[in-house]
Amino acid sequence: MRYGLAVLSCLILLTAVGCGGQQQRTAEDAGFVRAFASDKRIMSTILKKFLADYLVRDLNITPRCYNGHAYIVGEYETENQKERAVEIAEGVEGVKTLETYLLPMRVDDTCKPEDDLRITSNVKALIADVRKIRSNNLSVVTAQCNVVLMGFVRKTDIMKIIELAESIEGVRSVRSYLKSLQ
């Protein structure tokens, strides 16, 4: 009888601990979903404000956001456009910090928009081919054949991702804003 009570007590304790662990995991998942939704709202608000602004609406600038840390990557024609794009992004509610990778447009550039698309596609394909890299929270944006990497990945994957991007033909440089998950 005493043995049966001890086993029953252990089972109750394990169930309670297991449920508590599950509740903690559910709370973490809910926090992740809230942060993800907030980041998507920030990105879409920045883009919407870019499109509504006469000074920057025609520019090729891509916004991204991770845990409230915003990034804008692309090209501008005038300093006023660049300053306005930064002002808009910084003014969006929820933006904690802003990193910019903005290049002046070059009329005589040998890198064409189709080169940027090819490079971005090839970098993403290479990363996807390396099965050990978890890249569901990673963005690749290319401007004037310069690759910009943003997001959260495992610390051990950061250098590998940079090396993969650098290995693509036509890449001029790689800028990493990758952050470690750990």
Question: Side-chain half-sphere of 103: how many Cα atoms within 13 Å?
Answer: 19
CATH number listed for the domain at residues 106-182: 3.30.1340.30
Domain boundaries, the chain: 1-105, 106-182
What is the CATH T-level fold of the domain 1-105, as seen in this structure?
Histidine-containing Protein; Chain: A; (3.30.1340)
Return d(Cα 12, Cα 86) in angstroms, integer.
56
The pLDDT of residue 53 is 96
pLDDT tens for residues 69-116? 999 999 999 999 999 999 999 999 999 999 999 999 998 889 999 999
Instruction: Return the pLDDT at 108.
Output: 86
pLDDT classification of 31: cutoffs 50, 70, 90: low
What mean pLDDT is reported for the chain? 85
Lowest model confidence (mean pLDDT) among 13-17, 20-24, 97-101: 13-17
